[in-house]
Structure 1
Amino acid sequence: MSSPAPPKRSVSAPARASASCGVHAGQTGATHHVDLDAAGRAEKSSATDLSIGELAARFDLETHVLRHWEDIQLLEPARDGAGRRRYDADDVVRVAVILRNKAAGMSLEQIRVMIDADAPGRHEVLTAHIADLDRRLHEMAIAKQMAEHALRCRAHDVGTCPRFKAAVSDLLDGSSESFRSGLIAEQHIDRHTGHHDDA
């Protein structure tokens, strides 16, 4: 006797928006162009009906992470006739979106706001996150230059190397407002999350 099919779910506002918005990552100024529509079509082209264990294994996660994301409304899986969670292609894409944005430094609360088109304060949250990403990109570019110089530097002493001093001159003279504000923001997030932002 075959198991009953998962119940049909209505498409949420974020899902409808992602299906029709036609936005490419390149339009936000990113150098790496990602066709979000094509990625979504490719994922949905194959029938997907996964258990929580199968979905967790696909992304090398513990199942408790997916349960936690469900608790905070990042995921909303369907249930089969026995009450077991079933995940479709939309859920797979959503997990990938969560992971990609966590890797970029977003908190789970920020991600929840991003994928919920009706979330209050959504524009403000996303605008602030974009500004933070710009700051991080700037800091990472400087850090990359320092690492590249370290490979070539014969001094082997960052305290005496003029290149290293130049790279941190704004911190030495106290003129880097963006660095201090970013550090304060990160400390604020750490205090509120307690470093327990599940994978």
Structure 2
Amino acid sequence: MVKTIGEVAAELGIEAHVLRHWEDVGALTVGRDGHGYRVYDDKAVEQVRTVLKLRRVGLSLPEVTAAMAPTKSAAQAVVRAKITHLEGEIAQRQEAITFLRHTVECRHRYLDDCPDCASFVRDA
């Protein structure tokens, strides 16, 4: 069964212009009917779902395009790089949480008076 761009967009809760853009940048490959209209078969709809999921987990469109490369090793390299980046963000957020928890529980009236707070600031 084939679907129109509007049907796919509505089904997935995105705008049709987003699908056109994804196709323009090479993240999607969509067939055309005899009149030149885009037609989405089951394979194309799954490809859209994959692009949508990759975007939602934080990949940029160039990363998505690379992650959908025909060779598995190329795709894995992009995903591994994204994992490394996200792990770095998690570590930074964890440090922020540790610092903020300390400031909430700190016995000093002013953070400048606290040697632990000063240590956190120096490590920044």
TM over 0.5, shorter chain: yes
Q: Give the counterpart letter for 2:87 in structure 1.
A: D
- CA separation of 1:141 and 1:172: change in aligned 2, threshold 3 A: closer
1: CA distance, partners of 2:8 / 2:118: 47
SS of residue matched to 2:10: helix
- The answer (yes or no) to whether the contact 2:67–2:74 under 8 Å persists in 1 is no
- The answer (yes or no) to whether the contact 2:6–2:16 under 8 Å persists in 1 is yes
Which residue of structure 2 aligns with residue 72 of structure 1? 25
Deviation (angstroms), 1:106 = 1.0
- The answer (yes or no) to whether the contact 1:113–1:119 under 8 Å persists in 2 is no
Which residue of structure 1 aligns with residue 58 of structure 2? 105
**CA radius of gyration, larger in:** 2
Q: What is the total number of aligned residue pairs between the two structures?
A: 115
Which residue of structure 2 aligns with residue 26 of structure 1? none
Structure 1 residue 133 corresponds to structure 2 residue 89: no
Higher mean displacement: 115-124 or 102-111 = 115-124
- CA separation of 1:68 and 1:89: change in aligned 2, threshold 3 A: same
- CA separation of 1:141 and 1:100: change in aligned 2, threshold 3 A: farther
Deviation (angstroms), 1:130 = 1.6
1:23-34 matches, within 5 Å, as none
Structure 1 residue 81 corresponds to structure 2 residue 63: no
Q: Deviations over 1:159-189 (max 9, x none)?
A: x4237x8xx98862335xxxxxxxxxxxxxx
2: CA distance, partners of 1:87 / 1:77: 6
2: CA distance, partners of 1:107 / 1:53: 23
Structure 1 residue 51 corresponds to structure 2 residue 15: no
TM-score normalized by the length of structure 1: 0.47
- The answer (yes or no) to whether the contact 2:99–2:120 under 8 Å persists in 1 is no
Q: CA-atom RMSD, angstroms? A: 3.4
Which residue of structure 1 aligns with residue 114 of structure 2? none
- CA separation of 1:133 and 1:84: change in aligned 2, threshold 3 A: same
1: CA distance, partners of 2:82 / 2:118: 26
Question: Identity, % of aligned pairs?
Answer: 30
2: CA distance, partners of 1:172 / 1:143: 11
Which residue of structure 1 aligns with residue 122 of structure 2? 173
- Long gaps (5+) in structure 1: 1-47, 150-157, 176-199
TM-score normalized by the length of structure 2: 0.70
2: CA distance, partners of 1:113 / 1:174: 36
